[in-house]
Structure 1
Amino acid sequence: MKYAIALGSNLGDSRSILESALSRLEGVIARSSWYQTKAVTLPNSPSQPDYLNGCAILETDLEPLELLAKLQHIESEFGRIRQQKWDARTLDLDILLFEDGIFQTQMLNIPHPRMSDRAFVLVPLAEIAPDWQHPVLNRSILELARSIDASDVRKL
């Protein structure tokens, strides 16, 4: 099965953390460049350091919830502590897409419900999977990336 995964970090040595996390993922068939982006925070939250973000395409036999558990395990190994929504983090791994399907449970929604609003996801994903169709919006990743303001996304 083919998945699109987003990777992000804004605490610690983000580039090293992302590279190490990527090496822990089995079945990586494509990976994007790293991009520097402003942190998305809740209103009235303290400012955070910029993020490094990227995407990868994986081929694996894992079912979506199995992959989610593996990603969360990797996050915790890199010191991820889930306290508040949109907190700064050492590592964030999100499943964006799963084949051309839709997967919805209480724990996991694929496609990622906010991916089409996030230039820091769409720009790196368009680099490696421009023709992948969003199964709900019926638009390619490249089309989605071109339709959003990406002025704060800087390729490293």
Structure 2
Amino acid sequence: MEKVFIGLGSNVGDRKKNIDTAIKYISQIMTEISVAPIYVSKAVGYENQPDFFNTVVSGFTELSPEKLFRKLKEIEEKTGRIKRFRWGPREIDIDIIFYGKTIIETRELIIPHPRAHERDFVLKPLSDIQPDFLHPVLRKTVKELLLNLKHRSIIKKL
């Protein structure tokens, strides 16, 4: 069993329902789940779109990183994600932020998430449930990464 952290975001349709539905599916493939509060943030990249609802889920899984990744993509489909364009609006976006202390970089999968340490909408909810988690590459805690963050996109806690 590995402890994993999953990031969720939605900015199309009923954003809260999209996240709640995805968490319901995630709870079928993980145990001992903790869910951080939802934060509202401005979009990153293509900024001319609605604000995102973001949260982080932690829990344990027996799935390998690759199998977990495939299951999360299936959950995105079940939750109604429509592929539009990079950085574009989405019904749901689900990413593996951390998978224990595992470091993976393939064409399909990068763990830890390559930009999680730059995004307050990931770090803030993550700090609400595991502030002392040590980033396996940067060797800094989530709390330290959040304190040193320069760009802020969070507007409010939902």
TM-score band, normalised by the shorter chain?
A: over 0.9
* Residue of 34, 52, 56 corresponding to 2:38: 34
- 2:157 alignment counterpart: 155
Question: TM-score scaled to structure 2, two decimals?
Answer: 0.91
- 1:64 alignment counterpart: 65
Displacement of 1:149: 4.0
CA deviation map 1:45-74 (0-9, x unaligned): 6x1000000001021100001011111001
- 1:103 alignment counterpart: 104
Q: Conserved in 2, the CA contact under 8 Å of 1:3 and 1:98?
A: yes
CA distance in 2, matches of 1:136, 1:151: 22
Paired-residue identity, %: 39
Is residue 95 of structure 2 the alignment partner of residue 76 of structure 1? no
Aligned pairs, number: 153
Q: Conserved in 1, the CA contact under 8 Å of 2:119 and 2:152?
A: no
Displacement of 1:115: 0.6
Q: Unpaired runs of 5+ in structure 1?
A: none
Q: Conserved in 2, the CA contact under 8 Å of 1:119 and 1:149?
A: no
Displacement of 1:82: 2.4
CA deviation map 1:4-52 (0-9, x unaligned): 100000000000110111011132521100000001124xx6x100000
Q: Conserved in 1, the CA contact under 8 Å of 2:10 and 2:90?
A: yes
CA distance in 2, matches of 1:67, 1:132: 20
- Aligned partner of residue 120 in structure 1, secondary structure: helix
Runs of 4+ in 1 over 4 A off after TM superposition: none
- Aligned partner of residue 72 in structure 1, secondary structure: helix
Q: Which moved more, 1:61-70 or 1:99-108?
A: 99-108
